[in-house]
Amino acid sequence: MRFTNKVVLVTGGAAGIGKATALRFAEEGARVVICDVDEANGKETQKLLGSGVAFYKVNVASREEVQQWVDRVVDQYNRIDVLVNNAGVLRDGQLVKFKEGQLVSQMAEADFDLVISVNLKGVFNCTQAVAPVMIKQGGGVILNASSVVGLDGNFGQTNYVATKSGVIGMTKVWARELGRYNIRVNVVAPGFTATEMVKAMPEKVLEGMKAHTPLGRLGEPSDIANAYVFLASDEASFITGASLRVDGGIVVGT
Helix 158-178 vs helix 122-137: angle between axes, to the nearest 10 degrees?
20
**Distance (Å, rounded) from C-alpha 170 to C-alpha 144?**
9
**Collapsed DSSP state (helix, strand, coil) of residue 93:** strand
- The answer to whether 90 and 162 are in contact (CB under 8 A) is no
Active-site annotation, residues: 160
Pairing of strands 96-99, 102-106: antiparallel
- The answer to whether 26 and 34 are in contact (CB under 8 A) is no
- The answer to whether 159 and 91 are in contact (CB under 8 A) is yes
**Distance (Å, rounded) from C-alpha 169 to C-alpha 172?**
5
Which class for 28: exposed (0-12), middle (13-18), buried (19 or more C-beta within 10 A)?
middle
| Inter-CA distances, 127 with 94, 154, 176, 235, Å | 30, 27, 14, 22
Closest CA to 38 of 7, 20, 60: 60
Q: What type of residue sits at position 94? A: Q
